[in-house]
Every structure is written in C-alpha cells, then in structure tokens.
Amino acid sequence: MKLTTTPRQDGFVFPAEFEPIREVWLAWPERRDNWRNKAKPAQQTFAAVANAISEVVTVSIAVSSPQYETARAMLNSSVKLVEMSFNDSWMRDIGPTVVVNSAGERRGVSWQFNAWGGEYNGLYEDWSDDDKVAAAVCDVMGIDHYRAPFVLEGGAIHTDGEGTLYTTEECLLSPGRNPSLSKPQIEAQLREYLGIDKVVWLPKGLFNDETDGHVDNLIHVVAPAKVVLSWTDDPFDPQYSLSREAFAALASQTDAKGRSIEVIKVPLPGPLFYSHEEANGIESSDGMNRQEGERLSASYANFLMVNGHIFLPLLDSDFDDIAKDILAKALPDYQIVGIPTREVLLGGGNIHCITQQIPA
C-alpha cells in the first residue's frame, strides 16, 4: 500500500548497511546498449555476485520473463526469481530504500527515478518501468511504501544508522535531479524521508562517474563515524584533487552525534579504461557512449556489507590484495569475499550499485 505520511512522521529511520540484513535484491541485466555481447558476460558476473551473497542471506532477483530460464540456469537454487519489468539492472537506484521503526517494522521508500538526470543528462529516454520497481519490490515483500516527492537514487546516499547521511553536492544538486529545490530544501526532504538528523555533504564523487558522482562509488560508511574513502597518491590523476576535497570535507565536519569522522583511505584500482573489444561489444545509443580508452569509474569502496561479510569487487591484480588488507585491518570482524566484477564496472557501477539490502 502507498502511504500518504512520511517516514519521519511515522517514526521510521534508514538503518546502516552494517546492521543486520534479511535479504538482498538484484535485477538481471539484459540491456544491450549498456552490457556488451548481449549482456552474456554481465549475466555471468551478476550470477557470481548473487550466488556468493546467497551463501550468507536470502537473495531475490527481478528478471524479465524472456530471461527467466537463462537466469534460473545460472543461479543457485536458493536464489528467488521474481518476474518484473525494468529498464536496466541497477537495483540500488531503482529498488526501495527500506526504513525501520523501533518495533522492527519495515517500510519502503520509492524515490522518483529519472535515469540519472532526466531530460538534462539522463542515460536513457524511457525509465518508466524503472520508476515502478521500488513499489513492485515492496508489494512482493508485503510491506507498505512511501512515494517521495523528489528525484533520488539509492547510490547517492550512505548512512551510519545513527542520524547521519552522507552524500555529494555534485549529485544531489545536479540540474538533472531537482532543479526547483534548494540545498536546504533537499536536506529537509532527506530528513523527512530517511529520518536522519544531519547531512554530511561531500563536494564531488569519483572522476568520470556518469551518475553525477554517486557517494557509494567514492566512500563507504563501515561503522558509526568511520568511512572508507577512495584515494590516490598520483598527483597527475584527476581523482587526486577530488579525493583530497572529500577528505577535507569529512575532516571538517562531525556526524549527527558530534563525533569526528575517521577516514580509511583505500587506493583506487588502475586507472582502468575501456578496451577496444569492450567498447565495440556494446550496441550504440544516445545516452550511454562507451569509447575505447575512456576512463572507467572504478572503486573498491563500491562493496556490499552483509551480516559480517564484505562482498568486494576485484578489479586490478596490482591493487586487489592491498584493498583487501586495508579493509581486513579496519574491519577485523568481517569476512572479505572478493569477486571479479569488471563486467559490472563496464556498465557504470559495481557490487553496491547492483544490490539493495533489506534490513532485518
């Protein structure tokens, strides 16, 4: 059922990803102007991610009816498949953000979705099916949902579950999202629909991120007042100044509880670029241009935390183990599960972008 109140009015808040999770949702990739070679390599990688997560928690995957049998054959028997219409497979952005109250009840938030920029700079023209996915997932789960009166994607927000929300100005203030809303008005909406008390604003996201700088590609909130930040020490890398601006922003602000924010720097992989074969395997379209030699927006921060596990994208043999070691030291209670996910990266995101956790 669609509710007419707001989560804040009803006492619901957005819990952290490191709190207990009951289920993880994905959507099966098939869009040929984003996934190369008829999406076959991407499907193998999505299946590897889903199967790994299914060892830890229930996994549900939205799938179109023509793709149902293909997906079923590639997935563990415990993975649930749900037939659903959608335009592309970024469940983080099209699925519901699930909020909880003190009694443990869950409700979903359906954000308005416009393909990361609508008429201004959206990546495809028809996003009508994507915009209905959050409500559809809530219906499948049997929970009520709120329909937010503004554009937002799940990848644009991170929370500590204790009142702090992290986001980037580059994304939330971009002309393609909510041009009629001021920064204070956007903050007020975030408070209302996520039950948070403070927004920590970072200037920009990762270099060349076509989502206009989603926060989940730059940082990951791994504990209260503790954040992983994508980093490079190469002064010639365009990410060099962006990461330093983010670090300065985190260092100059406190969280909702007044705590200083600890920052764990994790090196970027690469830099990585589209190969000739990869760029040529994608059917051309207006919104998503994939050029040989174009910089990929690659990041180890784009992992998923599920019940004591970190599902980490493996992207570069020179840096994979370094990233693993840093996270293992910072989060000794977590088991780190590395999954090679270059095929997801080629589509414009990574493990965090293709998953949406449902809190317990």
Containing domain of residue 192, as a range? Answer: 7-359
Q: How far is Cα 262 from Cα 277, in angstroms, rounded to an integer?
A: 41
Look at residues 81, 65, 105, 66 and name the one whose alpha carbon lies nearest to residue 25: 81
Map residue 39 onto helix, strand or coil.
helix
pLDDT of amino acid 285: 77
310-339 pLDDT, tens digit each = 999 999 999 999 999 999 999 999 999 999
- Can you tell me the mean pLDDT for 36-55? 97
**Cβ(118)–Cβ(30) below 8 Å:** no
Can you tell me the mean pLDDT for 59-87?
98
pLDDT tens for residues 159-173?
999 999 999 999 999
Residues 53-60 have a mean pLDDT of 98
Q: How far lies 41's CA from each of 44, 85, 270, 343, 346, in Å?
A: 5, 21, 21, 6, 10
C-alpha span between 228 and 70 (Å, rounded): 36
DSSP state of 146: E
In whole angstroms, how far apart are CA 269 and each of 234, 250, 342?
12, 22, 11
Pairing relation of β-strands 356-359 and 335-340?
Answer: unpaired
Average pLDDT over residues 174-179: 97
pLDDT digits (tens, 9 = 90+) for 123-167: 999 999 999 999 999 999 999 999 999 999 999 999 999 999 999
Q: Enumerate the β-bridge partners of residue 223.
A: 226
120: phi then psi, degrees, rounded to nearest 5: -70, -55
Please name every residue paired with 168 in a beta bridge, in sequence order, or none if there are none: 202
Residue 289: band (very low, low, confident or very high) from pLDDT cuts 50, 70, 90: confident
Name the band, by pLDDT with cuts 50, 70 and 90, for residue 226.
Answer: very high
Domain presence at residue 11: yes
| pLDDT at 359 exceeding the cut of 90 | yes
Q: Binning pLDDT at 50, 70 and 90, where does residue 294 land?
A: very high
1 part of a folded domain: no
Count the alpha carbons within 13 Å of 291 in the hemisphere toward its beta carbon: 7
Q: What pLDDT digit, counting tens, does each position of 190-216 carry?
A: 999 999 999 999 999 999 999 999 999
pLDDT band at 174 (very low <50, low <70, confident <90, very high): very high
Q: Residue 291's pLDDT is what?
A: 87
C-alpha span between 143 and 97 (Å, rounded): 12
| Residue 198 is assigned to a structural domain of this protein | yes
- The stretch 175-201 carries a mean pLDDT of 98
Calculate mean pLDDT across residues 79-98: 98
Question: Per-residue pLDDT tens for 30-43?
Answer: 999 999 999 999 99
Count structural domains, the chain: 1
CATH of residue 303's domain is 3.75.10.10
How far, in Å, CA of 352 to CA of 229, rounded? Answer: 15
Does the residue 277 lie in any domain? Answer: yes
pTM above the 0.85 mark? yes
Round to whole Å and give the CA distance between 295 and 315.
14
Whether 78 is in a domain gets the answer: yes
Residue 336 within any structural domain of the chain: yes
Is 154 strand, coil or helix? helix
Assess if residue 99 is contained within a domain.
yes
**pLDDT for residue 319:** 98
Q: Which two tokens stand for residue 253?
A: 């602000």
Arithmetic mean of pLDDT over the chain: 97
Confidence of residue 288 (pLDDT cuts 50, 70, 90): confident
Residue 171 tokens read as 């994304």
Specify if 2 maps to a domain: no
Residue type, 60: S
Q: Residue range 67-76: average pLDDT? A: 98
CA distance 338 to 153: 25
Give 230-254 pLDDT, tens digit per residue. Answer: 999 999 999 999 999 999 999 999 9
pLDDT value of position 224: 97
Asked if 351 contacts 45 with a C-beta cutoff of 8 angstroms, the reply is no
Residues annotated catalytic, as ranges = 353
Amino acid at 228: V
Find the helix or strand (DSSP H, E) in which 276 lies: helix 276-280
Q: What is the pLDDT of residue 286?
A: 74
